[in-house]
């Protein structure tokens, strides 16, 4: 069974200031998602599942359906605040959905195959999709998942601090933990993270997660079980988030299975801040000029 690509596109782009998921960055107006789908299709993925908001569905389909028709199967899942919350009363101060693992749970009815999950606004590079596809078709099972690991230096912004999941690795190339570092930035030629006003240096090759994971459908079942517990503890916290790494960490530490690391030297592009946009456009323009992508992806 060929794997699917799940794209998290329901988020509210608060720091960026606009709907960056559909902003054009390529020479023919391609979004970052276009490049992700193009790379995934070329790597062997046969299906794309978009996780979006219902109120944005028709506009979203109008943008993507014409250019993807006949090239890849598409499906949609909708992440709403009340998705999978049962009879629980959601406090009015809760204004956005419950995080990335909740988003994956929302695609429960759209996924029957092994799948990779990515952010809509991250440019991951061709190598990542090849490695993810190879893992999904050859090694992925209900006890063996994977995370694509990036070198920290390839994931920073020039315009502000970033949050990264720092991966702990054992001698079998398996993830043993994921520590969220919330304020990572360059300072005086070093990469540091800030915590409680203390600066700690990180190596530029520190392995980090950029939210590119590979799972079997069993991960979605695990999300469903854990989401009930999460709601019981956090329903009244308007900022609480049910996140993919948290469920993955539970998967490992509860002994349910292992998560392999798929290392890549790919350069990551991201648009955390509006000031990042010209850098992303320039990076894509260079890749097009070097012949790695055509000037128009879908002609």
Do residues 157 and 15 lie in contact, with contact meaning Cβ atoms separated by under 8 Å? Answer: no
Q: What is the pLDDT of residue 97?
A: 83
- 205-238 pLDDT, tens digit per residue, is 899 999 999 999 999 999 999 999 998 888 888 8
- 25-34 pLDDT, tens digit per residue, is 888 989 999 9
In the chain, what are the domain boundaries? 4-289
Q: How many CA atoms lie within 13 A of 117 on its CB side?
A: 30
Query: Regarding predicted confidence, which is higher, 266 or 172?
Result: 172
Q: Which superfamily is assigned to 4-289 in CATH?
A: Spore Coat Polysaccharide Biosynthesis Protein SpsA; Chain A (3.90.550.10)
Q: Which range, of 181-185, 201-205, 208-212, 276-280, averages the lowest pLDDT? A: 276-280
Tell me the residue ranges of DSSP E strands in the chain. Answer: 4-8, 47-52, 73-78, 115-119, 122-123, 144-151, 162-169, 175-187, 190-195, 198-202, 207-215, 258-264, 269-270
Q: Output the DSSP codes for 95-113.
A: -S---HHHHHHTTGGG--S
DSSP state of 56: G
Q: Tokens standing for 145?
A: 């998942």
Residue 166 has pLDDT above 70, yes or no: yes
- 87-143 pLDDT, tens digit per residue, is 888 888 887 888 899 999 999 999 999 999 999 989 999 999 999 999 999 999 999
Q: Tokens standing for 115?
A: 């799948």
Q: What is the pLDDT of residue 18?
A: 45
Q: Tokens standing for 12?
A: 């509210």
Residue 16 has pLDDT above 80, yes or no: no
- 64-92 pLDDT, tens digit per residue, is 899 999 999 999 999 888 888 888 888 88
């Amino acid at each position: 069974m060929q794997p699917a690509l799940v794209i998290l596109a329901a988020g509210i782009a608060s720091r960026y200031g606009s709907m960056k998921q559909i902003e054009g960055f390529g020479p023919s107006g391609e979004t970052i998602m276009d490049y992700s789908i193009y790379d995934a299709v070329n790597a062997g993925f046969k299906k794309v599942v978009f996780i979006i908001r219902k109120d944005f569905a028709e506009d979203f389909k109008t943008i993507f359906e014409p250019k993807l028709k006949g090239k890849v199967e598409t499906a949609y899942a909708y992440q709403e605040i009340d998705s999978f919350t049962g009879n629980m009363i959601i406090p009015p101060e809760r204004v956005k959905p419950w995080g990335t693992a909740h988003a994956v749970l929302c695609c429960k009815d759209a996924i029957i195959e092994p799948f990779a999950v990515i952010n809509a606004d991250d440019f991951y590079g061709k190598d990542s999709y090849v490695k993810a596809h190879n893992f999904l078709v050859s090694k992925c099972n209900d006890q063996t998942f994977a995370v694509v690991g990036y070198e920290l230096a390839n994931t920073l912004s020039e315009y502000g601090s970033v949050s990264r999941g720092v991966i702990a690795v054992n001698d079998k190339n398996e993830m043993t933990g994921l520590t969220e570092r919330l304020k990572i930035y360059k300072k005086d030629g070093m990469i540091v993270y800030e915590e409680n006003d203390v600066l700690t240096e990180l190596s530029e090759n520190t392995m980090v997660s950029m939210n590119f994971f590979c799972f079997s459908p069993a991960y979605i079942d695990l999300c469903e079980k854990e989401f009930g517990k999460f709601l019981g503890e956090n329903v009244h916290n308007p900022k609480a988030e049910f996140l993919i790494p948290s469920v993955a960490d539970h998967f490992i530490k509860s002994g349910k299975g292992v998560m392999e690391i798929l290392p890549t030297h790919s350069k990551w592009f991201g648009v955390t801040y509006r000031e990042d946009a010209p850098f992303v456009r320039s990076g894509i323009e260079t890749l097009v000029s070097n012949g790695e992508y055509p000037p128009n992806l879908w002609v």
